[in-house]
Amino acid sequence: MALVALWLLALALAARQAAAVLRQPSDKRLVDLLAWIGDNGVLRAHESLYDGATPFTGTPFAGLALKPLTRAAEQGLGVAWTIGTLLLVAAVGVLAARALPGPVSRRTSLFAVPVALSLLVVSVPVRNTFHLGQTSILPVLLVLLGWLVLRERGQADKQTGGALIGLAAALQPSVLLFVPLLWLTGRRPAALAAGGTFALCTLGTWVAMPDDSFTYWVHHVAGVGLGDAADATANQSLHGALLRAGLRGPGEIALLLALVAAVAWLALRRAVRYARDGQPLLAAAIVGSAAVAVSPTAWQHQQLWVLLAVAGRVGRRSGDRLMWPVFVVLAMSLNGDALVPKVSVLTVFGDNAVLLAALLAACVMPFLSRTSRYWDRPEPSGALSRPNLMLELLLIRVGYFAYSWVRGHAPDGRQLAEGHGDQILGLEAFLRIDIEHGLNQFAVRTQWVRDFSDFYYTTFHFLVPIALLGWLYIRRPGEYRKFRTALSFATLLALIGFWLYPLAPPRLMPGLGYVDTAHGPQNFDDPDFGKLTELSNQYAAMPSLHVGWSLWCAVVVFMLTRKTWLRALAALYPTLTTFVVMATANHYLLDAAGGVLVITAGFLIQRRLQGRVPELRIGGAAADRTDEADKMDKMGEADKAGRRDGAVRGASGAASDPSPSDPPDSGDRRAPVRRG
């Protein structure tokens, strides 16, 4: 059933991507492909490829070889081109899945292909290729065919594989980096065939199209300056990063050449080692990632190599294994803003996220060797161990991005939201709990209450939960896992509520006398009233996560301490938050009840997933359980080393000798602790 579900998901994603292209108007689909078509026919027949407002961005050989293929865009409005591109993506996914280093379990071999296809289709390079009508999938496929498929065959097949790599380099020059890889791994005939094929294709095109060849190779230095500006964020090469950093002129060129040489040298050394280790797919990903970094321009549709780096295994602990593939998949599927907060200091990381992933894959990440004892048997992390910090921060950031995205894209029709507001007010009036207006007017009349409430509302909502999560991670890692899971599910349920029940908060309900204490009275006669509605969806009020998250904090404190003053503060926090959200006219009392409901449901789901939760011991509970886990690990190591039973009993804390407080021996002997 899981396999069928994965295949259905892969097919649905592929169909959705193709449909997203084909349902566009004919003048807006495959925009780069249509730009190749001049007034005199496909690829500007009898004209220069690189003149005009929308110049051709590929190599002259690509322009010469792809003329017949681009007829599909001119005559079939891109249908044949889109389907052909989809088939190329499928071929890349199958090759990558079949090249995973062995031994591979039957489950992995069955699931690898649909998972690879799904990751490829949702990645930015493939989506960009579909949208623009580019051909960058073809060089990747040719290299994988030459490097993986024809790798262990006869001499003729090896030379054929080298020719395929040379043909790919004629289409995308940066993959020339695979030629020294072939040479250094002992496939010298294939390396010579690759270099010869590239030279033959390039020189032949120079004879057929001398002006265009000069323009591309000399005037534009292998395509620099064609298309968007080289310092655009979409260019994820070292050259683009240096230009975005403000470097220009000879200094930038000298620094770039030094960095290119260092990255290429280090990447080739690592790739040779992993190729000899029986990981050819990882070796290809390392060299391809280096090609992305050292290329003068590496646009989004040319960055697919970085995604293949998920084939590498990193980390000794089982809990660390997900960090690298999750980071790569997110970096290749989302924009930089989703990975990094919008803070000026961190902007450089968001703008260069793909380049960072490429450099890490090519030069830094300590991928495991197949001879490592941790290759297929990582050290178990355990439920009480501290999770991988980088993975936690990444997931929290992406989770908040998803939270903001859902809030921003949930239904926000004013009439629907105000209608739901009338429903809430009517229900509260029936229950005689409609106290929001009185609290709001009290805050408006009392300046210090108003100022305190506005400050409290905008500050404590994020500060307290984040601080508590940080403390849990450092001091109570076992409890951190549990409470973090409960909070995540509660937030997910709240997002569903925002989507299904858009609700206007009291401050956005016309004619009822509520005052927005932070922004003053609203002009409800203006259709664009409420400047905040231009920034985010202000109709995501049910349930109140301000109240929900504050209640989560209170539950955490209550479960981890017996100190009366801390528990009193914990109880005060959600109570005060409930008062503030109503005093500032941001929520109804029933919104607060909704926040309580989703937090309760989050804890119930967490307990259901965890199974039977052991009784939580106050004080040093986490430390005690961590010590027990360490002792059990020591006992297992002692057992593997063949230690004696006494050592095992000592490591586990189960001493067999009577303690001084034990009664004298009455003939009842204790049974020895058996190893294992």
Return d(Cα 552, Cα 602) in angstroms, integer: 10
Domain end: 201, 222, 243, which one?
222
The percent of the chain in helix, strand and coil, each rounded to the nearest 5, is: 65, 0, 30
Same domain, 274 and 317: yes
Same domain, 262 and 330: yes
- CA–CA distance from 29 to each of 12, 39, 122, 323 (Å)? 20, 18, 18, 36
pLDDT in tens, 618-627: 333 444 444 4
Same domain, 201 and 259: no
Enter the tokens of residue 385.
Answer: 């161990």
Same domain, 89 and 216: yes
DSSP characters over 160-220: HHHHHHHHHHHHSGGGGGHHHHHHHTT-HHHHHHHHHHHHHHHHHHHHH-HHHHHIIIIIS
Residue 267 within any structural domain of the chain: yes
Same domain, 98 and 245: no
- What pLDDT is stored for residue 347 in this prediction? 84
Return d(Cα 608, Cα 611) in angstroms, integer: 5
Same domain, 245 and 206: no
Return d(Cα 71, Cα 348) in angstroms, integer: 41
Residue 184 within any structural domain of the chain: yes
Q: 562 exposed, middle or buried (CB, 10 Å; 0-12, 13-18, 19+)?
A: exposed
pLDDT in tens, 264-289: 999 999 999 999 999 999 999 999 99
Domain coverage including residue 14: 1-69+77-222
- What pLDDT is stored for residue 642 in this prediction? 45
Same domain, 95 and 185: yes
- What pLDDT is stored for residue 658 in this prediction? 39
pLDDT in tens, 116-163: 999 999 999 999 888 887 888 999 999 999 998 877 666 667 788 899
Q: Label residue 225 left, alpha or beta by phi (over 0 means left) and psi (-120 to 50 means alpha).
A: left
Same domain, 127 and 25: yes
Same domain, 284 and 405: no
Specify the DSSP class assigned to residue 363. Answer: I
pLDDT of 414 higher than 80: no
Residue 635 within any structural domain of the chain: no
Into how many domains does the chain fold?
Answer: 3
* Apex 124 CA angle, 268 and 34, nearest 5: 105
Residue 647 within any structural domain of the chain: no
The three-state DSSP-derived secondary structure of 541-555 is: CCCCHHHHHHHHHHH
Mean pLDDT of 412-439: 86
Domain end: 611, 632, 665, which one?
611
Residue 459 within any structural domain of the chain: yes
DSSP characters over 508-567: GSTTS---BTTTB---TTSTT--GGGGTS-TT--SS-HHHHHHHHHHHHHHHH---HHHH
pLDDT class of 616 with cuts at 50, 70, 90? very low
Residue 655 within any structural domain of the chain: no
Sole residue written with tokens 């490097």:
147
Which residues, in sequence order, are CB contacts of 468 under 8 Å at separation 6+? Answer: 553, 556, 557
Same domain, 190 and 245: no
Same domain, 495 and 549: yes
pLDDT of 665 higher than 50: no
Please name every residue paired with 317 in a beta bridge, in sequence order, or none if there are none. Answer: 379
Residue 367 within any structural domain of the chain: yes
Residue 279 within any structural domain of the chain: yes
Return d(Cα 10, Cα 416) in angstroms, integer: 36
Q: Taking a C-beta distance cutoff of 8 angstroms, is the pair 502, 533 a contact?
A: no
Same domain, 163 and 270: no
